[in-house]
């Protein structure tokens, strides 16, 4: 049986399996000062292990991908290790 981590990595690394042209992902990050966690949204766009730090519903096609806030990772495993999961 595959692990959840393996399933996340497999889905993130195969754009042909995505239900849309992009893959929405999310993670929970601490707010600090003991105030719990906050949801952070992102998307993968088939450009390798790059998380674009935007909500998929905010994408309107007016900005090129290179101009969107992003975080580059060394692998899809590193994305999952950083707390991101498929939304």
pLDDT digits (tens, 9 = 90+) for 5-39: 999 999 999 999 998 889 999 999 988 787 889 99
CA-CA distance, 59 to 73, in Å (whole number)? 21
Pairwise pLDDT comparison (61 vs 70), residue with the higher score: 70
Taking the model in full, what pTM does it have?
Answer: 0.90
In terms of DSSP H, where are the helices of 1-87? 4-12, 76-81
Residue holding tokens 């239900």?
Answer: 19
The terminus-to-terminus CA distance of the chain in angstroms comes to: 22
CA-CA distance, 56 to 42, in Å (whole number)? 7
CA-CA distance, 46 to 12, in Å (whole number)? 9
Burial (CB < 10 A; 0-12, 13-18, 19+), residue 58, is exposed
């Amino acid at each position: 049986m595959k692990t959840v981590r393996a399933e996340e990595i497999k889905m993130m690394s195969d754009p042909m399996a995505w239900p849309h042209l992009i893959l929405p992902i999310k993670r929970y990050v601490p707010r600090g000062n003991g105030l719990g966690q906050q949801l952070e949204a992102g998307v993968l766009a088939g450009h390798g292990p790059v998380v674009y730090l935007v909500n998929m519903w905010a994408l309107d096609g007016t900005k090129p991908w290179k101009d969107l806030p992003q975080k580059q990772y060394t692998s899809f495993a590193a994305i999952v290790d950083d707390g991101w999961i498929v939304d």
